[in-house]
């Protein structure tokens, strides 16, 4: 099938590349000429395991191309995915300006019937706005061309996006006619050998499904962090509580690990956008508001522990931070807990020596660029030298079984603040460490 994907960010690039991998002819469109040129040369703007190789191979094969010319792309394709960003506005709502700008451009440039698919995470009712925007542009041209608008939300996990796309748990399609469902069923047939994984519904329900899924997962995280905070105060061990409740098949172990808060491009934005939608329709989403409030406070739990141990004035003290990305397997630092922790410590006079295997560039160029008190090092052990304590923020695999003798040797004091509850408290304390974790008194 002939497919265009507008937007070469995380969702757009993974979507276009995976469709190309299955033999479709795909053209990815972006307004950033340098990014397009880089992509043609095999340079991708994000870190996602396996993606760079797949982009290069499909470009060489001729199944994947990149352009800045949307008119050219639309002329050659029948299916067009909108995969541009929907950043969070100041009031928590999703900003649709880029989605609607693409819709306008589609209406101005399409030359035949198009299936226009919302792949970006968008609020309920966006498809109607996309439809109206395209129709307005067609009317301005005096054109009687027809089109369908379809909702196909993505459910990709950063760090495992290719596997998620190639072997999806489910493919959700929202449409208003059977022909549109047939086209999408054919498109996704190589990915969904089980018909149970291809789920059809009305458009608004499909739009809502994405937000509901992310809000549920975020709720589990905040709930467990709230339990962790209660455990600390009553003298219980949240790690044991987690095992106790996770063994219940109705609950399970997924997303009930205590930590220093969730981040990334999805959970924070989607929880707030769904809450804003609810309020716009006259409903107060008390659970969603609580989920976000708990997460906001949770990002300060580790820095609060450091401050409690070392005092409010951290002038002259250096701390090692292991991990900057919001989670392992990605270089994404959007809403990352590391940002809050580092800023809370440095504004009290501390210096930070930070190490992350993938996110250093993002920190330097964007999220911590205005913080002069952060030094970036090339290995986890380099970060420890002359530091008062080590702070684990992101649970990268290389941090799971470190050399604790080396840690003890390099630190000024054998102190670990563990924001992800990765280590064995008993073993560390027997070896002379002070160990602080989440949810344990």
Residue 397: Cβ within 10 Å count: 9
114: CB partners within 8 A, 6+ apart = 74, 78, 79, 80, 106, 145, 147, 148
Provide Rg for the chain, Cα atoms.
24
266 is catalytic: yes
3-class secondary-structure state, position 391: strand
3-state helix, strand, coil in the chain (%, to 5): 45, 15, 40
Tell me the DSSP string of 61-127: HTSEEEES-HHHHHHT-SEEEE----PBPTTS-B--HHHHHHHHHHHHH--S-EEEEE-S---TTHH
Residue 290 CA neighbour count, 13 Å, CB half: 13
Nearest to 369 by CA among 403, 399, 345, 333: 333
| Residue carrying structure tokens 């109705």 | 250
Nearest to 383 by CA among 433, 321, 341: 321
237 secondary structure, DSSP code: B
Counted residue by residue, the chain has a size of 441
Q: Please tell me the distance from the alpha carbon of residue 235 to that of residue 169, in angstroms, as a whole number.
A: 39
Q: Which of 18, 80, 231, 266 is catalytic?
A: 266
Residue 430 CA neighbour count, 13 Å, CB half: 5
Cα-Cα-Cα-Cα dihedral sign, residues 220, 222, 225, 229: negative
Cα-Cα-Cα-Cα dihedral sign, residues 403, 406, 408, 410: negative
Dig out the tokens for 106 from the structure.
Answer: 């589609």
What amino acid positions are annotated as catalytic residues?
A: 266
């Amino acid at each position: 099938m002939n497919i265009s994907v507008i937007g070469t960010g995380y969702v757009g690039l993974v979507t276009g590349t995976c469709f190309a991998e299955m033999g479709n002819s795909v053209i990815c469109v972006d307004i950033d000429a340098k990014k397009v040129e880089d992509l043609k040369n095999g340079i991708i703007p994000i870190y996602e395991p396996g993606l760079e190789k797949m982009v290069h191979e499909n470009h060489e094969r001729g199944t994947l191309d990149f352009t800045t010319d949307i008119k050219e792309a639309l002329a050659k394709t029948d299916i067009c995915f909108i995969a541009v960003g929907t950043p969070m506005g100041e009031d928590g709502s999703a900003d649709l300006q880029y989605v609607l700008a693409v819709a306008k451009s589609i209406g101005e440039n399409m030359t035949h019937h198009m299936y226009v698919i919302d792949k970006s995470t968008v609020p309920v009712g966006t498809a109607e706005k996309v439809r109206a925007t395209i129709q307005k542009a067609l009317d301005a041209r005096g054109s009687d061309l027809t089109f369908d608008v379809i909702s196909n939300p993505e459910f990709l996990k950063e760090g495992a996006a290719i596997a998620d796309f190639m072997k999806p748990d489910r493919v959700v399609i929202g449409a208003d006619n059977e022909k549109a469902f047939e086209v999408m069923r054919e498109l996704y047939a190589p990915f969904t050998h089980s018909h149970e994984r291809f789920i059809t519904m009305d458009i608004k329900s499909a739009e809502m499904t994405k937000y509901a899924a992310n809000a549920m997962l975020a709720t589990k995280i905040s709930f467990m962090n709230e339990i962790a905070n209660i455990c600390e105060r009553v003298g219980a061990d949240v790690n044991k509580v987690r095992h106790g409740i996770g063994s219940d098949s109705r609950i399970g172990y997924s997303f009930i690990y205590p930590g220093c808060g969730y981040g990334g491009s999805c959970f924070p934005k989607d929880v707030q956008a769904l809450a804003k939608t609810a309020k716009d329709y006259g409903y107060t989403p008390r659970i969603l508001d609580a989920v976000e409030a708990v997460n906001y406070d949770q990002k300060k739990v580790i820095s609060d522990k450091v401050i409690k141990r070392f005092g409010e004035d951290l002038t002259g003290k250096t701390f090692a931070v292991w991990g900057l990305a919001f989670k392992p397997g990605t270089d994404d630092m959007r809403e990352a807990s590391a940002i809050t922790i580092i800023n809370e410590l440095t504004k009290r006079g501390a210096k930070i020596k930070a190490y992350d295997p993938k996110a250093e560039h993002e920190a330097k160029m964007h999220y911590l660029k205005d913080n002069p008190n952060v030094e970036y090092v090339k290995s986890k052990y380099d970060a420890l030298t002359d530091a008062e304590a080590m702070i684990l923020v992101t649970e990268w695999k290389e941090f799971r079984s470190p050399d604790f003798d080396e840690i003890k040797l390099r630190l000024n004091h054998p102190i670990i603040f563990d924001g992800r509850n990765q280590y064995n408290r008993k073993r560390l304390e027997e070896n002379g460490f002070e160990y602080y974790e989440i949810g344990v008194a």
